Amino acid sequence: MFELSPEGKELVKKELARYEDKYSAIIPSLYQIQKENEGWVSPEAVDHLSELTGIPHSHINEVLKFYTMFNLKPTGKYHIQVCCNITCSMFQARELTDDLCQKLGIKEGEVSEDGRFTVSRVECLGSCDNAPAVQVNETYHDNMTPEKMDTLISELK
């Protein structure tokens, strides 16, 4: 059973009080859960948050499933998120993703055998001026090319 830490619960409480609509507390609370739950949000965690906030689980689930920055399954040590929204797609981000998956021998969303990598397509990272943009865990990498990707992967141990 997942349960937020006392600090986590404190954060949720604060967020609830901060906005006039308590639904606004969903995103920061899910971030907190993801942080405390090894990088992903489990169904039990949604139930827990629902109980904590009184927000129906269906509506927490709506937010959870809308945003790509929340993971619905455990990810590898390095979560490589390739933006495939309009601008990045125009700069070959989709091809970049396919290429990456092939090199790592995994499908999108899967964890590589050594537990190091997960690749997923995400929506606009707000870095369109540097398309194609890639985010590895919390770090941005701009103007990616297959070559730069190779170097990056070899550096991620």
Partner 1 sequence: MPKCTVNGIEVEVKDGATVIEAFMKTNESIAHYCWHPGLSVAGVCRMCMVEIEGNPRLQIACNTPVQDGMVVYNNSEKVKEAVEWTLKFHLINHPLDCPICDQAGECGLQEYYMSHGSYDSEMAERKVKKHKVVDLGEKVVLDTERCILCSRCVRFTDEVTKTNELGIFNRGDRSEIGTFENRPLNNKYSLNTVDICPVGALTSKDFRFRQRVWFLKSFETICQGCSAGCNVQAYYNENGFYRVKPVPNEEVNGHWMCDEGRDVYKFANKEHRLVSGIKKEDSGLSHMAPGAAAVQLREDLSDTKKAALVLTGQYTTEEYLKFVDSFTKNYGNEVYHWINNPKTFDDFDGILLRGDKNPNTVGLLRVLEGKGIKSSWADLEEKLNSGQIEHLVVAGPENLAVFPDLEEKVTLFGQAQKLTVLTPVKSKFYESADYQIPMKSFMEKDGTFVNHKGIEQKLGRGPIVVSQALTLLDLSMILDGSDFISVNSASMGGSL
Contacts with ligand FES, residue ranges (CB under 6 A): 83, 85-88, 124-128, 131, 133
- The C-alpha atoms of residue 110 and residue 97 are separated, in whole angstroms, by 13
Nearer to partner 1, 48 or 149 (CB): 48
- The C-alpha atoms of residue 79 and residue 87 are separated, in whole angstroms, by 21
Q: Map the footprint of partner 1 across residues 106-125, applying CB under 8 A.
A: 123
Query: 68 with 81: CB under 8 angstroms?
Result: yes
Burial of 26 from C-beta contacts in 10 A (0-12 / 13-18 / 19+): buried
Nearer to ligand FES, 85 or 118 (CB): 85
26 binds, among ligand FES, partner 1, none (CB under 5 to 8 A by kind): none
Confirm or reject binding of residue 18 to partner 1 (CB under 8 A).
Answer: no
Nearer to ligand FES, 50 or 89 (CB): 89
Closest CA to 122 of 153, 88, 85, 95: 85
Applying CB under 8 A, the residues found at the interface with partner 1 are 43, 46, 56-62, 65-66, 123
